[in-house]
Amino acid sequence: MQMEYLPLKKEKDFYTWAGVLLVIFTAAATGYVSQFNVFEAIRVMPGVLSFIFTDFLPPSYVALPNIVQPLLDTFYMAVVSTVTAATISLVLAFLCATPTMPHPAFKIVIRAFASLLRNIPALAWTMILIPAFGIGKSVGVIALIIGSLGSMTRFFTETIEEIDIGKIEAIRSSGGSYWQVLRAGVMPQCTPGLISWTLYSLELDIRASTIIGMVGGGGIGFYIQSTIKLFKYDHAAMAIFIVAILVIIIELLTKKIRERIM
């Protein structure tokens, strides 16, 4: 037994060290290609800290009256985009989930469509839509809807596919229609999961809407970008601080709701 154990241990150690060396080599190679210099980063760090604690901080309370409306716009954008994307994703999920799909072709087409949307970030959609619609909140909402659609379709599909198939088969065997299967067999089982994923997507959309706003999608992100361009860094710091508070509050609320429904 001891003789058999030693070769296995040596082989395991070999693969462990090989993996460590591969990670180090990959990090070094990518750092070289991207021209990242650790020593340069350390050299400029005092200047970065000086900027943060001199120009950026403390946040300016004078900016608060100007922050309220953009912050509300960001929240409205996130809510509208989440609800819209959830509604569309629910329909798509019913069409492509194995227990509820009318035809296997729906599964292939919708999954491919959702995968395509999921792999293009909302920020990229904003840059694509701005030339067509111009700068404003409408662009931000559309970009968030498209950006959330792929992920929510996948989340909802997986939730539906995890339900108990026995109840669905019982309804079908008793002559139940497709809509009766959805109403009595599917929705009671998957509703908590669907609500949970929707609330999680709301958190993501609030974060994403801030970034989208900085490139022309409106809301608090646009305010932050504008104040930075005007060198009002303390005003931008206050806006970022308020956004962080909003995200934390939304996260705590959605967490409590998910705990109650799950």
What CATH number does residue 130 fall under? 1.10.3720.10
Instruction: Find out whether 242 and 71 touch, Cβ atoms under 8 Å.
Output: yes
**What number is the average pLDDT over the span 143-151?**
86
180 shares a domain with 79:
yes
Q: Quote the pTM value.
A: 0.74
Q: Give mean pLDDT, residues 5-17.
A: 64
Q: Is the pLDDT of residue 32 over 60?
A: yes
51 shares its domain with 70 = no
Q: In angstroms, rounded to a whole number, what is the distance separating the alpha carbons of residues 21 and 104?
A: 45
Cα–Cα distance, 214 to 243 (Å, whole number): 13
- The rounded Cα 147 to chain-centroid distance in angstroms is 8
State yes or no: pLDDT of 21 exceeds 80. yes
Give the pLDDT band of residue 262 (cuts 50, 70, 90).
Answer: low
**Are residues 19 and 137 both part of a single domain?**
no
Please give the helix or strand (H or E) that residue 30 lies within, else none: helix 2-33
Regarding whether 160 and 233 lie in a shared domain, the answer is yes
187 and 244 belong to one structural domain: yes
Same domain, 15 and 105: no
Give me the mean pLDDT over the 160-181 stretch: 73
Same domain, 173 and 198: yes
* Last residue of one domain, picked from the residues 10, 35, 55: 55
pLDDT at 2: 46
Give the helix/strand (H/E) hosting 193.
helix 187-212
Q: Could you tell me the two tokens for 225?
A: 């970008």
**Same domain, yes or no: 85 and 149:** yes
Give burial (CB, 10 Å; 0-12/13-18/19+) of 230.
exposed
Distance (Å, rounded) from C-alpha 228 to C-alpha 232? 6
Q: Is the pLDDT of residue 12 over 70?
A: no
pLDDT band per the 50, 70, 90 thresholds, residue 11: low
**Domain total in the chain:** 2
Domain end marker among 35, 55, 75:
55
Residue 6: its pLDDT value, please?
Answer: 52
Exposed/middle/buried for residue 251 (C-beta within 10 Å: 0-12, 13-18, 19+):
middle
- pLDDT category of residue 1 using cuts at 50, 70 and 90: very low
Q: Examine the domain organization and report whether 50 and 108 are in the same domain.
A: no
CB neighbours (10 Å) of residue 140? 36
What would the mean pLDDT of 183-208 be, rounded to a whole number? Answer: 80
| Residue 172 shares a structural domain with residue 241 | yes
Within this chain, do residues 98 and 191 fall inside the same structural domain, yes or no? yes
Structure-block tokens of residue 50: 């000086």
22 lies in the same domain as 78: no
Domain that holds residue 33: 2-55
Question: Average pLDDT of 239-262?
Answer: 79
